Amino acid sequence: MKVLAIINPKAGTYDQKLVELCINVLRAKFTVNVVYPININEAKKLANSRDYDALIIGGGDSTIGSLSINVKIPIIILPIGRGNTFYYTVYGKIDPLNLFTSLIKCNRVEYVDIGFIREVNRGFVLGTSIGILADLVKLSELYKKFGKGMWSYTLASIDLRIRMRKGQIKPIRVSLRVNKEKVYDDYAYLLSIGNTPVRGRGSMKLFPKASISDGTLDVIVLPRVNDEIMDSLAKGSYSNVLYYKGKNIEITSDRRLSLEVDGDYILLEENKITVDVIPSSLPLLKPCT
């Protein structure tokens, strides 16, 4: 088996030693070519290659999501990002070294869903949000200097709660259509679309009904916010949240939209996004058991 490894050295918890250990495990049985692309466009071209039998993506959730619509061959995830939520969703609690060891013994291909945002021509594996989750990701960028991994999100979450209590967080006027039907037209503090049940490595159980293999995306709307609602949201309790499922989601606002996409912050020129599910489109290489 010929394997291409695309490694993002700028990923949140990049660990050269872990990368080398995992690659060397595969090299005991497979031919592995390792590439460190200089930018995401180069990475996309590499991911589109059909010259290999499998593709290792070394990075975080946003790296995987950014490459997801370009992938033509089964992928193996090497988790070196801040959250690595998709890795744990797909592989469970197995550590990367044991995963790679299991893969050389026996492997199988499983196809899962991804989401696609038309306006930015970008796929995602976790989800996309406007409102307080986009604010959280934007704040987390400021706290990266204080530590790697989830630490920046923890500090940003504390900061966001303080701003919320001071009344500095304002709702956004949104119109939401699910499968072409208008289901909401009012102010909201959060509108989030999810492919996986959890975000933040399981710290936020936003979408308890979600599955990466059900051919739909899940949507939540948070019309109001306070500490109690935020706590219940993290636990997957939905007494104050509107919940929908669909294959096509359209969001329109009265202002330019700022998005969180798989943990990346994006400020759009547009005031609208159209999101589609692409069912069973991302091939994953998994252990047989």
Is the pLDDT at 218 greater than 80? The verdict is yes
Is 248 buried (19+), middle (13-18) or exposed (0-12) by CB count in 10 A?
A: middle
The predicted structure's pLDDT at residue 147 = 64
The Cα–Cα gap between 157 and 281 comes to 33
pLDDT band of residue 225 (cuts 50, 70, 90) is: confident
The predicted structure's pLDDT at residue 148 = 61
Q: Token pair of 190, please?
A: 């959060």
Residue with tokens 């329109």: 252
The predicted structure's pLDDT at residue 165 = 84
Q: Which residues contact 66 (CB under 8 A, 6 or more apart)?
A: 40, 43, 44, 122, 123, 262
Is the pLDDT at 202 greater than 70? The verdict is no
Residue with tokens 């530590």: 147
The predicted structure's pLDDT at residue 277 = 99
Give the pLDDT mean for 62-84: 93
The chain-wide mean pLDDT, for the chain, equals 91
> 92-101: long-range contacts at Cβ-Cβ below 8 A with a sequence spacing of 24 or more?
94/287, 96/18, 96/22, 97/18, 97/21, 97/22, 97/25, 99/287, 100/22, 100/25, 100/26, 100/76, 101/25
For 51: left if phi > 0, alpha if psi spans -120 to 50, otherwise beta; the answer is alpha
**Angle subtended by helix axes 132-142 and 151-165, to nearest 10:** 120
Q: Over the stretch 5-55, which tens digit does the pLDDT of each residue have? A: 999 988 878 889 999 999 999 999 999 999 999 888 899 988 888 899 999
Radius of gyration over every alpha carbon of the chain, rounded to an integer in angstroms:
19
Nearest one of 276, 170, 257, 161 to 219, comparing CA atoms: 276
Q: Which amino acid makes up residue 117?
A: I
Nearest one of 130, 140, 17, 18 to 82, comparing CA atoms: 140
The DSSP output letter for 84 is: -
Class for domain 122-278, per CATH?
A: mainly beta
The Cα–Cα gap between 158 and 145 comes to 16
Please report the beta strands in 73-213, taking only residues with DSSP state E, as ranges in sequence order.
75-79, 107-117, 122-124, 127-131, 172-178, 181-188, 190-194
Query: Taking the chain, what is the end-to-end CA distance rounded to the nearest angstrom?
Result: 20
pLDDT band of residue 158 (cuts 50, 70, 90) is: confident
Is the pLDDT at 146 greater than 90? The verdict is no
The predicted structure's pLDDT at residue 149 = 60
The predicted structure's pLDDT at residue 231 = 74
Architecture of the structural domain at 2-105: 3-Layer(aba) Sandwich (3.40)
Angle at 163 between CA 159 and CA 168, to 5 degrees: 150
Q: Over the stretch 82-94, which tens digit does the pLDDT of each residue have? A: 889 999 999 999 9
**How much of the chain exceeds pLDDT 90, in percent?**
68
* Domain parsing of the chain, residue ranges: 2-105, 122-278
Phi first, then psi, for residue 80 (nearest 5°) are: -130, 25
Lowest mean pLDDT among 46-60, 68-82, 189-203, 242-256: 189-203
The predicted structure's pLDDT at residue 233 = 72
